[in-house]
C-alpha cells in the first residue's frame, strides 16, 4: 500500500508508521492530501496539512485539494485548508474555482467561508459561468444572497449569454430573482436567442417574477430571434393570465402606474402584484378604498 491508497481508505495508522514524500503525486497527479480531501478523510487531511503538505498542487484536471473538498462538501477539510492559507482562486482546466464548485453543489458553509476569506467572486469557467450564475440557476439562494451582498457582478454573461437573472427567471427561483432585481441587475440583457429575463419568466409561467420585472421597468416589447415577445411567449407556454397582465400593464399610463405604486407603498402593501391589480381593475378600487384617498 502507498500513501495514496492509505489516504483514500482512511488508514491513519499507515501514515504514522511509514516514511513517505508528502507532496508526491501519483499517475493522475493526485497527492495524498487530494485523495483524503476527495474522500472526506479528515483526520488524515488534518495531519498532512499540519505536516506542511503543499496546498496548491494541482492534479491532472487542474483541481487542488481545496477544489475537491469544496466540490464534495467536506467542510472541515475545506476550512482547514482555507485557514492554512491556500490559494482560493486557482482554477482547474475547466475554469472552476473552489467557490464555483461549492456554489454549484450548494455547499453553503464552504461557499460562505471562501467569500469571507476574500475569494474572487467573478472568475468564470470555460463556459463563462460564475459562482453567482451557478447558484442562481440551481436555486441555491443563501449562496446567491451572500454573493450579491458581497458585490458580485450581477450582469456577467456566460457562453450562452445567460445572466444570473435570466437563469433565476427561467428556473423560477423568485427569491434570487427579486434580490438581483432589487440590487440593480440589468433587466433587459438578452441571451444568445435574444430572450430577456421577462420573456423567460413569461414562457415558464413564473407570474411573480414577471410582475416584479415589469414593476421595475423591464421592457415588455423586446423580441427574441423568433420574433416573440413576452406576451406571445406567455401564450405559447399556456399562460394567458400572464399575457393579459402584460398587455394591461402596457396600456396603463405611466402616471397611473406611479400613482398607484406610491399609494400602495404608503399603505404598506406589496407593490410586486401591481400588474395583476391593474388587470383586475375592481381589485385596484378595493385596495384603494381600504385606505385614505390618494
Per residue in 64-120, pLDDT (tens digit) is: 999 999 999 999 999 999 999 999 999 999 999 999 999 999 999 999 999 999 999
Average pLDDT over residues 243-250: 92
pLDDT, residue 282, reads 43
C-alpha cell at 184: 440593480
- Alpha carbon dihedral 140, 146, 151, 156, in 10-degree steps, equals -10
pLDDT, residue 288, reads 45
Closest to 273 in 3D by CA, of 177, 182, 229, 207: 207
Name the CATH topology of 1-120.
1.25.40
Query: How far is residue 24's CA from residue 6's CA, in Å, rounded to a whole number?
Result: 14
C-alpha cell at 15: 501514515
pLDDT, residue 251, reads 82
Rounded mean pLDDT of the chain? 91
Percent of the chain topping pLDDT 90: 84
SS3 154: coil
- Local confidence band at 294 (pLDDT 50, 70, 90 cut-offs): very low
Q: pTM (2 decimals)? A: 0.87
Amino acid at each position: 500500500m502507498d500513501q495514496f491508497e492509505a489516504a483514500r481508505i482512511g488508514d491513519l495508522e499507515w501514515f504514522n508508521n511509514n516514511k513517505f514524500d508528502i507532496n508526491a503525486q501519483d499517475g493522475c497527479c493526485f497527492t495524498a492530501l487530494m485523495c483524503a480531501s476527495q474522500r472526506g478523510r479528515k483526520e488524515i487531511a488534518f495531519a498532512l496539512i499540519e505536516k506542511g503538505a503543499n496546498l496548491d498542487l494541482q492534479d491532472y484536471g487542474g483541481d487542488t485539494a481545496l477544489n475537491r473538498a469544496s466540490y464534495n462538501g467536506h467542510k472541515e477539510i475545506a476550512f482547514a485548508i482555507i485557514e492554512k492559507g491556500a490559494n482560493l482562486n486557482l482554477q482547474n482546466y475547466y475554469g472552476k474555482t473552489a467557490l464555483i464548485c461549492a456554489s454549484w453543489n450548494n455547499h453553503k458553509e464552504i461557499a460562505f467561508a471562501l467569500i469571507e476569506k476574500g475569494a474572487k467572486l467573478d472568475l468564470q469557467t470555460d463556459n463563462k459561468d460564475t459562482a453567482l450564475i451557478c447558484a442562481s440557476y440551481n436555486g441555491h439562494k443563501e449562496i446567491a444572497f451572500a454573493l450579491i451582498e458581497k458585490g458580485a457582478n450581477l450582469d456577467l454573461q456566460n457562453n450562452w449569454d445567460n445572466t444570473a437573472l435570466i437563469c433565476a427567471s427561467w428556473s423560477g427561483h423568485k427569491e434570487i430573482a427579486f434580490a438581483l432585481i432589487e440590487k440593480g441587475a440589468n433587466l433587459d440583457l438578452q441571451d444568445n436567442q435574444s430572450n430577456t429575463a421577462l420573456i423567460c419568466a413569461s414562457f415558464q409561467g413564473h407570474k411573480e417574477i414577471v410582475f416584479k420585472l415589469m414593476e421595475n421597468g423591464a421592457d415588455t416589447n423586446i423580441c427574441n430571434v423568433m420574433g416573440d415577445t413576452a406576451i406571445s411567449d406567455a401564450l405559447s407556454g399556456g399562460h394567458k393570465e400572464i399575457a393579459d397582465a402584460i398587455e394591461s400593464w402596457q396600456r396603463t399610463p405611466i402616471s397611473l402606474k406611479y400613482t398607484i405604486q406610491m399609494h400602495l407603498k404608503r399603505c404598506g402593501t406589496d407593490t410586486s402584484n401591481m400588474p395583476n391589480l391593474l388587470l383586475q381593475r375592481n381589485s385596484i378600487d378595493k385596495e384603494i378604498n381600504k385606505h385614505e384617498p390618494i
